Structure 1
């Protein structure tokens, strides 16, 4: 299967400003992420479509937005329905109309939204993620892509989830859900996988292509990692680790 995509954006209009963004998550391996095993790839309702040492493809979670909007707006329709009281205030009508329009929008968008795929192209160093609403998927170099974490609501529900900052004129965010319970574990998995100079992240789902990936890096002389790590990222076996240390020096 060919999951290569044409580059749509070469960077951000304000890269230096984004690097100072308070909620920015730096591309780094912070900790050991969950094992990428059958619980993720073969479980019921798995979003993963393809994965090997070159590419990882998953379904986009964009359908969540119209569902949430639809449920919330429907709830407000029931609350502010004009006939629920003998006399309805103007504010009731305002909320009712807004809720009705939002419900209609969620239905229209849900049935017309583009089919999307999240793609980590480890071989070429590109990442593909969802555009804003009807905007096509965005593809750009992983090294130029900026990430952040969500703040959530007042009760902190939904906080510290990893997001990709879209390179649009207005700042919007795409969901970056792969492996992990928070932004740092998720970022660790993505960075580990996208660093093609390191061995593949832990997990039995990658076991079938670890030897191929090892031989490729060995033929290249085991170049130094592309991104920093706060933890060791050893080879799959002790013998492989000794070869890396002897040839690559790390």
Structure 2
């Protein structure tokens, strides 16, 4: 029996900060900018970037262990280095650093064993996304169309820059949203394609067992038009299915004022 990953909506929007965040200069729009990576069945089974995939849900691993391991590991390494290498008194600055390291180590241990369950879920069926809350805060579930995505700035050397993130609506901190490409525009292309339930499933063997079922669902619904924009074609898995879909509408691309734009040509059968 497949586990139900349905979660109740916790936040409808970003409150009073909504208008300002919509103008955030690091914002990444939900557009299929590129043909995304092909997610394989083997990658999901290994539990790497994703731990489960179907035509309705995808899950990502709990990343909350990263903080206690990095913070605690760094603090412990610092303390051990002092213990084995220090040959003179610490003095006031050194004592302060030791106190900070001990506090960080204790916090890391406590947090590791007491942190609440963390989840990262893409609910394609209902158009919802669940992301981890910060520290002890509960997980956040919003409509995918309402979450605001942005890219990271990284360090001074550029490391960690242009990674896809989601702004949390409760404290406006950032949650990493990684699809494996390490590029915000390729990652958002994958997530947007998957979350657009009016399009075929994204490329990759991870979705092959569900393509026929997904096609039949959209066919029964009359092949509703896509929910999000795309700069690339998103065809059906096989030509026969593509021809059947094009009885309702055909996705075409034109260049207008130097910009690639998508429009739909109606066959006359869709209302």
**SS of structure 2 residue aligned to 1:33:** coil
Alignment of 1:33-112 (within 5 A): 33-43=36-46, 45-46=47-48, 48-78=50-80, 84-112=86-114
The alignment's TM-score, normalised by the length of structure 2, stands at 0.86
Give the Cα–Cα distance (whole angstroms) in 2 for the partners of residues 34 and 160 of structure 1.
Answer: 17
Aligned-pair distance for 1:107? 1.1
Give the Cα–Cα distance (whole angstroms) in 1 for the partners of residues 215 and 221 of structure 2.
Answer: 10
Aligned-pair distance for 1:165? 0.6
Higher strand share: 2
User: Which residue, out of 16, 21, 31, partners 2:19?
Assistant: 16
Q: Which residue of structure 2 lines up, in the alignment, with residue 157 of structure 1?
A: 159
Of structures 1 and 2, the one with the larger relative CO (CA 8 A, separation 6+) is 1
Give the Cα–Cα distance (whole angstroms) in 1 for the partners of residues 236 and 66 of structure 2.
Answer: 38
Aligned-pair distance for 1:79? 5.3
Structure 2 gap ranges (5+): 252-271
Q: Which residue of structure 1 lines up, in the alignment, with residue 200 of structure 2?
A: 199
The alignment's TM-score, normalised by the length of structure 1, stands at 0.92
Aligned-pair distance for 1:82? 11
Q: Tell me which structure has the larger Cα radius of gyration.
A: 2
User: Which residue, out of 18, 27, 31, partners 2:30?
Assistant: 27
Aligned-pair distance for 1:171? 2.1
Give the Cα–Cα distance (whole angstroms) in 1 for the partners of residues 84 and 99 of structure 2.
Answer: 10
RMSD: 1.8
Number of residue pairs aligned between Structure 1 and Structure 2:
248
Contact 2:50 2:59 in 1 (8 A): yes
Encode CA deviations 1:29-54: one digit per residue, 9 max, x unaligned: 111111110342123x4353432111
